[in-house]
Structure 1
Amino acid sequence: MEIRDEVRRNFDKVAQEYDGQRRKLIPCFDDFYQAGVSMAESNTISPTILDLGAGTGLFSSLLLQRYPGAKVTLIDISEKMMEVTRLRLQGFNTITYVVDDYTNYTSSEKFDIIISALSIHHLSDADKLKLYNNTYSNLKDTGVFINADQVLGHTPFIESLYKEDWRNKVEVSGLSRDELDSAYERTQLDRMAPLHTQLDWLQQIGFSDVDVVYKYFNFVVLYGRKSI
């Protein structure tokens, strides 16, 4: 089965329970997401926002608290996850939902802010690079890209420490055995790339002010800006 079909199948299966589990599966949950929201600066109070791999719409919902008048486009491969998103954002009337593979997504409309959370690490390195190129093209001048995601440890030893720390914390998080086993199964879909590799890609593509603005073991928030 193609990896994208496998990703879709797994996230369709857990869509209804996903939000309830996420805080327990991300030990740094609050700081992780708030770092991304804090970096989402815009010169307008009603920015256009694109959410890549939007899942249940959590990251977008946090940005909408900051920018209630934002026009948001959410794209995700899982119809079941998007159903949860529609319920979460039903009070907003400036939302566009796209059920599709975002890897090759290009738009005639340019965006002030492009975000992604815990999704791009499922892509192959070639598709990550393609997506980052498309993201740069899809941004307005001075627009910003924020990717809150997971990265591979830069050595096998460091990667083993990351995995051990995460497993130790989620094992005492209160999740059931079935929930933990499902989460471990989903990690088999991970295709993470090292942090320094992705920072280099962003700079080579043309992003300026590229930085990692938050890091907790393998959970990171990457930032880049499209210069004029």
Structure 2
Amino acid sequence: MHASVKMQFDAIANDYDRQRKQLIPCFDEFYGMAVSLVECEPSSKVLDLGSGTGLFAGLVMQKYPDIHLTLMDLSDSMLDGARARFSRTDRVQYIVGDYSEYAFSGQYDAVISSLSIHHLTHPDKQRLFHTVYRLLRSGGIFVNADQVQGHTPAADAYYRKQWLEAIHRSGLTQEAIDSSIERRKLDINATLSDQIGWLEAAGFTDVDCMYKYLDFAVFYGKKA
């Protein structure tokens, strides 16, 4: 599965940022809420899991220009986009690898992720949440802007219908639409309630879904 995900995102790396706004109907509110939840000291250490081209991390760095970022992704091609984005700062470290298996060292004030963790199996998600908790300093936060499965099959079908209608209105080419639909076959979405439960089981406090639009949701948790 990881190899399939890497291949799909290697292929779209050059167009990823431009297309993301068209592929996420709630883009501004989704990322706006995620960024607003990242509250930390000006020179904090922030880890971005599945960072891709660094879109989420870049928005956080606009908010906190002096933070130190560590960006991790399976796809070196996607990280090339991040290297270009952050070419004027020396406060960004890059790791090419699988964050569900990586032997992390050090601690962070915040761990962030966007539209990545849903590619993991459910047991891997749960293990990752425990890893994230361990990596955070006391008082550290985890913000995960991701996809969720509907509470019922009918809800999932509605999410799908609304998303397909939105991307067909977005101005994307048919080729880009077809590519996105193909990539979403790799999704392993978990329900909102399951993810909240897994975060709490990992030790997080103040856990909640702070924003949701169809199957796009922003989760928050804190290490007490």
TM range (shorter): over 0.9
Rounded to whole Å, the distance in 1 between the matches of 2:201 and 2:9 is 32
Moved more, 100-109 or 170-179: 100-109
Q: Secondary structure at the match of 1:188?
A: helix
- Find the counterpart in structure 1 of residue 95 from structure 2: 98
Aligned to 1:214: 211
RMSD: 0.7
Output aligned runs, 1:1-228, within 5 Å: 3-42=1-40, 44-227=41-224
Deviations 1:25-66 (A, max 9, x none): 000001101101101111x21110000000010000000001
Q: Distance between the aligned counterparts of 2:42 and 2:217, measured in 1?
A: 26
Which has the higher mean CA deviation after the structures are superposed, 103-112 or 67-76?
A: 103-112
Q: How far off is 1:67 after superposition?
A: 0.8
Structure 1 residue 92, shift from structure 2 partner: 1.2
**One-letter code aligned to 2:104:** S
Work out the CA distance in 1 between the residues paired with 2:82 and 2:89: 11
Superposed CA offset, 1:183-219 (max 9, x none): 0000111010101000001111110000111100110
Over residues 137-159 of structure 1, what are the superposed CA-to-partner deviations in whole Å (9 max), with x where a residue is unaligned?
00000000000000000100000
Contact 1:152 1:192 in 2 (8 A): yes
| Structure 2, unpaired ranges of 5+ | none
Structure 1, residues 127-177: CA drift from partner, whole Å, max 9, x if none? 101111100000000000000000000100000000001011111100001
Q: What is the CA distance between 1:106 and its match in structure 2?
A: 4.2
Q: Give the letter aligned to residue 204 of structure 1.
A: A
Query: C-alpha distance in 1, partners of 2:18/2:66?
Result: 27
Take 2:102 and 2:34, find their aligned partners in 1: how far apart are those partners? 22
SS of 1:200's equivalent in the other structure is: helix
Q: 1:105 Cα shift?
A: 3.1
Gaps in structure 1 of 5+ consecutive residues: none
Are the aligned partners of 1:106 and 1:134 in contact in 2 as well (CA < 8 Å)?
Answer: no
Task: Name the aligned partner's letter for residue 6 of structure 2.
Answer: R
TM-score, structure 2 length as denominator?
A: 0.99
* TM-score (normalizing by structure 1): 0.97
| Structure 1 residue identity aligned to 2:38 | A
CA distance in 2, matches of 1:164, 1:91: 41
2:48 maps to amino acid:
D
SS of 2:87 mapped into structure 1: coil
Contact 1:105–1:134 (CA<8 Å) still a contact in 2?
A: no
